[in-house]
Amino acid sequence: MISNYLEAENQQLETELGSGNLDYVKLQEKSVRYVVIGKLIEEKTNKWLELAEME
């Protein structure tokens, strides 16, 4: 199953990015992190699906 921590961080980043309250530097940093988290979630989901198919 996907890490609850990653899902929670992803949700928080979505909220912060959509707030309109970030300066350019913070927006850039959080955007990069959002992409990284998205890739991690995708990798973990795919791995979980692979393992589930093995059963």
15-30 residue pLDDT tens: 999 999 999 999 999 9
Domain count along the chain: 1
4/19 Cα distance (integer angstroms): 23
pLDDT of 2 > 90? The answer is no
How far is residue 44 CA from its own chain's centroid? Answer: 11
pLDDT score, position 1: 56
pLDDT of 43 > 60? The answer is yes
- Can you give the residue range of the structural domain that contains 10? 4-54
37 burial type by CB count under 10 A (0-12 exposed, 13-18 middle, 19+ buried)? buried
Under a CB-based contact definition with an 8 Å cutoff, are residues 52 and 17 in contact? no
Under a CB-based contact definition with an 8 Å cutoff, are residues 31 and 17 in contact? yes
